[in-house]
């Protein structure tokens, strides 16, 4: 997570990527980011993310981003677009990433730590 000193009310989730470790090209369809707390998109026009009503779970905020047509060759990465959200977390926030390609899904979880916990740990 990145918090710009010029926009201290907004955070950016950056650096998420997936890798095609299969032996065949894959066509990614959509990626979902789910936060286990109250998160909103920073601005309507801030990137390709949109609120996802089809995967919302109570207590979680879920956003989706679709991919253009094309395939990812074996052993190649797939970059996930940065997500800009508000408010900046004041407590640890669990994030679930789900990448959908065809009838299959790849999943990962991670935790966003609030900026205050990062400065206290140093």
3-state secondary structure of 15: coil
- Predicted confidence band at 95 (pLDDT cuts at 50, 70, 90)? very high
Residue with tokens 């205050």: 116
- Kindly tell me the sign of the dihedral angle through the C-alpha atoms of 106, 109, 115, 120: negative
Question: In Å, what is the CA distance from 71 to each residue of 33, 35, 40, 58?
Answer: 21, 28, 30, 33
Q: How confident is the model at residue 8 (pLDDT cuts 50, 70, 90)?
A: confident
**Contact yes or no for 40/84 (Cβ under 8 A):** no
pLDDT band at 118 (very low <50, low <70, confident <90, very high): very low
Question: What is 11-121's CATH number?
Answer: 2.60.40
Give me the helices (H) in the chain, please.
115-121
- pTM reported for the whole predicted model: 0.86
């Amino acid at each position: 997570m990145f918090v710009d000193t010029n926009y201290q009310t907004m955070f950016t989730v950056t650096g998420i990527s997936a890798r095609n470790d299969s032996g065949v090209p894959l066509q990614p369809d959509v990626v979902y980011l789910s936060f286990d707390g109250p998160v909103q998109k920073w601005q309507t026009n801030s990137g390709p993310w949109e609120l996802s009503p089809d995967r919302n779970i109570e207590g979680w905020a879920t956003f989706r981003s679709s991919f253009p047509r094309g395939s990812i060759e074996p052993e190649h990465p797939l970059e996930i677009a940065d997500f800009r959200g508000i408010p900046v977390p004041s407590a640890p926030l669990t994030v679930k990433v789900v990448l959908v390609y065809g009838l299959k899904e790849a999943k990962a979880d991670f935790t966003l730590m609030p900026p205050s916990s990062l400065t206290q740990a140093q």
